[in-house]
Structure formats: structure tokens, C-alpha cells
Copies of this chain bind each other. A is one copy, B any other.
């Protein structure tokens, strides 16, 4: 009988982190393939953006001091001595008492330090305008380097690239992006009761669910899933399949079997895979307690419960953060929804509880979470749910109306 080492979720995470070496495998991809990838190193801007003082309005480039004191009744008169063409260099110099016509986005000519909106000017003749409202230096313009300064770090290693990040990379002229290789994840299901979805579910048999939920979860997290199918509850068969999955991937997930005997086979196979081996056997959560976490050859191996809901919850808590950061020791920031739970729910202290909920929006804009009833083994409860509410281990449940963290699933 082996000793069970039951950890809290936080302990399980930190134990895993301390045993997993940071991954270094990176590649370079074209900018358009960068979405959702994890940046492998800091990106430093080589140029100012914009590369010139730039108007944000249609109007006239001026020296601000020429407009000081201007009013509708006593406009400041300046000579129109030039025009900025969109996308072209403003050649020449704007002198005192002068104005150049400028479009939104146009380059301010040397000498100008502000833009007067066309609404605050009046045309006196073809060469002279009256300015009816003063501007301060910098008004209605973006200064050279105000968006991005040359030499500054614009994006840091470990960041997941969002659409705006692609835009910023384009702005600074980065067309090839160094990103981490996605985490490859081998997925196995064990259980003599399981059959593939294309097989009939004869009496006593059920179709494999976990391979498919986990496949989807790995994809969503940015990993590359690979299914190894259903393995019989047999030490040799499971060991051979696990060894192959470990050799071909950066992480291995094995779920089920649900009976004590099958769980025992899974635990023994994981324990025999290599060093440092099993870090914890059991987590103080519900659902998901009978989970195993191990590190073998620098790769995380998880023994997940056979119950589909439990497997999903444990994956999200422990495996997903590693996949999402592509194995870099950088936590991706994420924020839960905060919603008011609609009924009292008991939970034991010393254990993190995760409760399936549906969400509703009330008239006042607030969001409430209704617990989904039904046994934890039923996949249909997870299909009904919008997410899971977290009842933290420090609390003995929550009362109706209390705000809880809800993680969308």
C-alpha cells in the first residue's frame, strides 16, 4: 500500500513548477501566424512610432505661440505657406506667423508644434487664415515616438500574442516573430469499459469521453493534442503506451479507469515511468481528488480521474497553465467572472470545491450563477454549465448572494 501524498491545488502547482525545467524550444513564424502564440523573447522597437510628429486632425500645422490669445472676435492671422500631402515628407520649414494645411495623419513640417482644427479657422483669402481658438504645443498631434519609443521593449517574453500585439509588431516592422513551440500533449484513456465513439456501446460499455474533452481543452490552451486511444487496464499495455506517448510529447495525460483496480494500475505505471516520478497522489479538491501528478524526464504526467467533469477540472487547474505558457515559467494572467451565487452551497474547508454553474444577467447588469444539479459523473451537466464556480479551501461554503469566482469552461 503506497502512501498517498494529498496536496492542495496551490501546493500541487508549485511542486510541479519546481520540478519542471523551463522549456526553451522556439521557432520563428511569420507575423500572421503569431496569434495566440507565446513570445519566446522580448521584442525591442528599433524605431520610433510614429517616426515623425503626426497630426490627429484635419487642420493647420502652426507654431502654438502664434495662436496664443486668439478668440472668435480677435482671431490670430497667419499666412498659409504650404500644404502637407498625406504620406509624404513635409519638406521645408514652417516659420513664425505661418500655417500649413495638414490632413489627419499627415507629417508636421519642421518648425510646427501643434495643429489647429479646421473648425477653429476662417479663410480670409487664399493665403491667409484667422485662428479663433488658441492651441498649446502638442495639441491635436502625436509626437514622434509617442506610441512606441525606439529602444523600448514593446512585448516581453512569455506573452501570449493578441490581435493588438500583431498590430504593434507590424507598426515596428517586425514581420517574423520568435515564439515558443506549442506544448505537445499525448492523451490516453484507460478502462476496460470504454469503446471508441464509432463503436456500438454494448451492455456494460460506454464510449470514451475524456479523450475528446481533453483534446478540445489542449487545443484551446494552445497545445497540440495527440490521441493514443483506449488502453486496457493492464500494466504492460498501459506502460508501453505511456512510454510511447512520453517519448513523442512534452506532456502526457492519462484518464480513468474509474474502479479502484484500474486506478491502481494507472498509479503503478506512472510511478514506474522514471524520475523524479510521482509528486502527489490526490489533490484536496472536489471533484477531482484521485489525481496523480508526476514529472518524468522533465515532462509533466497527469493521471486524471475517469469522471469527465473531474478530468476537465483537474486539467484546467494543473495542466492548462503549463500549456498556456508553452512551458515558460511565466504565469498567464487571467481573470474570472465574479458572480453572485443564487443558493447556499456547503463545502468542506481544506478543500477547493468547483461547482458547475450557469450564468444569468440581471436587469441591473449584475451576473448571477445558478448551480447545475446532477451527479458529477454526468458529462451533460458540464454541457449545460457555462463554467465552474470556485469555493475556496479557506471557506465552509458560500451563502446565496455571495460573490464567487466563475471560470468559463
Choose one: B193, B194, B367, B377; the contact of A142 (CB below 8 Å).
Answer: B377
Nearest-neighbour CB distance to chain B for A59, whole angstroms, equals 10
Flag A30-54 by CB within 8 Å of B: 1 or 0 each: 0110011000000000010111101
Nearest-neighbour CB distance to chain B for A20, whole angstroms, equals 23
Q: Contact: B154 with A173, CB < 8 Å?
A: no
Q: Contact: B213 with A166, CB < 8 Å?
A: yes
Q: Contact: B104 with A258, CB < 8 Å?
A: yes
Cα A366 to Cα B335 with chains together (Å): 10
Q: Contact: B361 with A206, CB < 8 Å?
A: no
Given A56-B375, A209-B171, A365-B403: A86 in contact with B142 (beta carbons within 8 A): no
Choose one: B35, B168, B380, B385; the contact of A220 (CB below 8 Å).
Answer: B35
Choose one: B107, B167, B367, B386; the contact of A209 (CB below 8 Å).
Answer: B167
A103 at the interface (CB under 8 A from B): yes
Cα A161 to Cα B220 with chains together (Å): 11
Q: Report the interface size for chain A: residues with CB under 8 A from the other chain.
A: 104
Cα A44 to Cα B192 with chains together (Å): 27
Q: Contact: A105 with B312, CB < 8 Å?
A: no
Nearest-neighbour CB distance to chain B for A398, whole angstroms, equals 12
Q: Contact: B365 with A257, CB < 8 Å?
A: no
Q: Which residues of chain B come closer than 8 Å to A104, judged between CB atoms?
A: 258-260, 306
Cα A306 to Cα B105 with chains together (Å): 9
Nearest-neighbour CB distance to chain B for A403, whole angstroms, equals 7
> By CB atoms of chain B within 10 A, which of A56, A204, A258, A409 has the most?
A204
Flag A217-230 by CB within 8 Å of B: 1 or 0 each: 10110000001000
Among A64-72, A74-82, A195-203, the stretch in contact with B: A195-203
Choose one: B163, B173, B204, B259; the contact of A197 (CB below 8 Å).
Answer: B173
Q: Contact: A194 with B87, CB < 8 Å?
A: yes
Q: Contact: B107 with A147, CB < 8 Å?
A: no
Q: Contact: B168 with A380, CB < 8 Å?
A: yes
Choose one: B85, B147, B219; the contact of A379 (CB below 8 Å).
Answer: B147
- A340: nearest residue on chain B (CB-CB)? B338
Q: Contact: A31 with B212, CB < 8 Å?
A: yes
A162 at the interface (CB under 8 A from B): yes
Choose one: B170, B172, B260; the contact of A58 (CB below 8 Å).
Answer: B260
Q: Contact: B260 with A87, CB < 8 Å?
A: no
Q: Contact: B338 with A259, CB < 8 Å?
A: no
Q: Which residues of chain B come closer than 8 Å to A345, judged between CB atoms?
A: none
Enumerate 28 A-B pairs (CB-CB under 8 Å) in ascending A order.
Answer: A35-B216, A47-B201, A49-B201, A52-B204, A54-B206, A56-B377, A85-B192, A86-B204, A86-B259, A87-B193, A87-B194, A87-B204, A89-B203, A105-B193, A142-B378, A163-B213, A163-B312, A164-B308, A166-B212, A167-B209, A167-B210, A170-B208, A172-B207, A173-B207, A175-B197, A333-B386, A335-B367, A335-B408
- With contacts A52-B204, A171-B379, A335-B337 known, what are 7 further pairs, Cβ within 8 A? A50-B206, A103-B261, A155-B383, A163-B219, A167-B210, A171-B209, A337-B337
Q: Name A residues whose Cβ lies closer than 8 Å to a Cβ of B.
A: 31-32, 35-36, 47, 49-52, 54, 56, 58, 84-90, 103-107, 142, 146-148, 154-155, 161-175, 191-194, 197-198, 200-217, 219-220, 227, 233, 257-262, 306, 308, 312, 333, 335, 337-338, 359, 361, 365-367, 375, 377-380, 382-383, 385-386, 403, 405, 408-409
